[in-house]
Amino acid sequence: SSVFVVRGLAKTYVMGEVSVPALQDVDLDLYSGELVVLLGPSGSGKSTLLNILGGLDRASAGEVVCDGWNLTRAGDRELTAFRREVVGFVFQFYNLIPSLTARENVAIVTEIAADPMAPHEALDLVGLGGRLDHFPAQLSGGEQQRVAIARAIAKRPRVLLCDEPTGALDSSTGVIVLQVLERINRELGTTTAVITHNAGIAAMADRVVQMSDGRIQSIRENGSRLAPS
Ligand code: ADP
Ligand code: ADP
């Protein structure tokens, strides 16, 4: 079944007299439990698409529906509720609160969720069960990103949206972060979309969506998905 149904999606950024077409004619389904990788050159519309899926930005035309939430018709309050209840986000920069420990950074989210994991459970899932009381400055970049992933999954989101989660990491650390995302998808069944520049990680995905000039150029199925190595 489809978690997301996207039809005829278009997005144009208007800045004064200049219009930038960022997405055109995008049709896409995200199926329950799958892991999708979005590839494409800089400026091809990947972040714009992910932001619209996550209710961070609005479409200019078309329809985006997620589990009965119609994002194209939702008001601001409904979009805020959608982001809070349905979506986990992971970005390139970890946005952890420096004065809080790993456990406390995760607890911020679990305190307002309906059916959250315990913070230590989420941190265990990302391999940081031994770093619960470390502050962000005491953790490596890869570990900080894993805390950010724990924070994103602790509320048990329906979908996990990741925008270049390895963009600030060296390649071997990036692989560890991708392995964590792959394992979470497999073990929790969280529908996951990951933007990356690294075509080498496509092997971990169920499907690879290739974007170009604001359009979906191709969608490739991967019948024999592997953990990245
Ligand atoms: P990608 O994630 O593939 O690098 P983006 O979705 O960020 O692509 O950008 C798609 C296009 O939209 C680009 O031409 C970019 O310059 C433009 N764009 C993105 N965000 C904005 C914005 N906030 N205002 C104006 N133009 C934007
Ligand atoms: P990674 O390959 O994940 O980036 P590093 O090799 O950078 O990991 O770090 C290895 C270990 O050193 C980690 O377990 C981390 O907790 C610790 N560490 C890294 N930076 C710091 C720091 N500034 N203060 C204390 N411990 C650190």
1-26, pLDDT tens digit by residue? 999 999 999 999 999 999 999 999 99
Instruction: Give the residue ranges of the chain where pLDDT is below 50.
Output: none
At 110, give phi and psi (nearest 5°).
-70, -25
- Ligand 2 pocket test target in 133, 139, 173, 178 with most atoms within 8 Å of CB: 139
In the Cβ-directed half-sphere of 204, how many Cα atoms lie within 13 Å?
A: 27
Q: Are 181 and 125 within 8 A, CB to CB?
A: no
| Amino acid 191: pLDDT | 97
| Amino acid 79: pLDDT | 97
Q: What is the pTM of this model?
A: 0.89
First to last CA, the chain: 30
| Amino acid 52: pLDDT | 98
95: CA distance to ligand 1 center in Å? 21
At 103, give phi and psi (nearest 5°).
-60, -40
134: CA distance to ligand 2 center in Å? 11
Closest CA to 51 of 165, 218, 163: 163
- Ligand 2 pocket test target in 140, 170, 180 with most atoms within 8 Å of CB: 140
Residue 145 tokens, joined: 């990103």
146: CA distance to ligand 2 center in Å? 13
| Amino acid 74: pLDDT | 95
| Amino acid 23: pLDDT | 98
| Amino acid 190: pLDDT | 97
Residue 77 in 3-state DSSP?
helix
Is the CB–ligand 1 distance for residue 46 below 6 Å? Answer: yes
Is the CB–ligand 1 distance for residue 26 below 6 Å? Answer: no
Residue 99 tokens, joined: 């004065």
